[in-house]
Amino acid sequence: MPFDAQDETGDDALLVLYANGDDRAARALTMRLTPRVFAQAFRMLGDRAEAEDVAQEALMRLWKIAPEWRQGEAKVSTWLYRVTANLCTDRLRKRRSVGIDEIPEPEDDAVGPAEALQDKARLDALQGALNALPDRQRQAVILRHIEGLGNPEIAEIMEISVEAVESLTARGKRALAVGLAGRKDELGYEHG
């Protein structure tokens, strides 16, 4: 069966195929899940190298648990988002214990047309404001507004109620707006 034909196959069915030794399933799961896990880790940590380590570790845990995975009990993506979130939280805690100077600044190595620079400056401003949020607010905002998940799934990932998710995302957005207010120049918006 060609790789494309597995696009319609669910994550949990692919995981069962993977556990049965199907190498096409290994490839399909890697292609499908790595971008999601990496994006989440990158937004949480604001650092590509650390996000790559977290993504690799999270997926390694999935490969390990595959033979015992029970179809229909949990969504693979939900499980993976939770593992990634926990790994990121651990990293953020370690950073704080090391010291605030160790926190990486958003990377600034792109050279390109003015428009691209402006986009990059806006995204760096967003990342800076995200980094300043408390961990749980940051996690909820990223899952809701960047990963585009629904509140019930976020509640499951974060193991809290839907109401708590709504409260976290609302507070997170307000804090972001305040954080970004001081970066109007980077955002390229006219002063109002």
Catalog residues that contact another protein under the rule CB under 8 A: 18-23, 26-27, 29-31, 34-35, 38-39, 42-43, 48, 52, 55-56, 59-60, 63-64, 66-67, 107, 119, 122-123, 126, 145-146, 148, 173, 176-177, 180, 187, 189, 192
93 or 174: CB nearest another protein: 174
| Residue 95 exposure: Cα atoms within 13 Å on the Cβ side | 19
Tell me the closest approach of the beta carbon of residue 30 to another protein, in angstroms. Answer: 5
Tell me the closest approach of the beta carbon of residue 36 to another protein, in angstroms. Answer: 9
Tell me the closest approach of the beta carbon of residue 44 to another protein, in angstroms. Answer: 11
Cβ count near 190 (within 10 Å): 6
Cβ count near 143 (within 10 Å): 25
Tell me the closest approach of the beta carbon of residue 182 to another protein, in angstroms. Answer: 13
27 or 136: CB nearest another protein: 27
Calpha distance 154→167 (Å, rounded) = 12
31 or 98: CB nearest another protein: 31
Structure tokens at 186: 């980077």
Distance of CA 179 to the CA centre of its chain: 20
55 or 157: CB nearest another protein: 55
100 or 185: CB nearest another protein: 185
Calpha distance 12→29 (Å, rounded) = 10
66 or 87: CB nearest another protein: 66
Tell me the closest approach of the beta carbon of residue 187 to another protein, in angstroms. Answer: 7
Tell me the closest approach of the beta carbon of residue 128 to another protein, in angstroms. Answer: 12
Residue 57, judged by CB atoms within 10 A of its CB (0-12, 13-18, 19+), counts as middle
Structure tokens at 89: 């939280």
- 43 contact partners, CB below 8 Å, separation of at least 6: 127, 130, 138, 142, 146
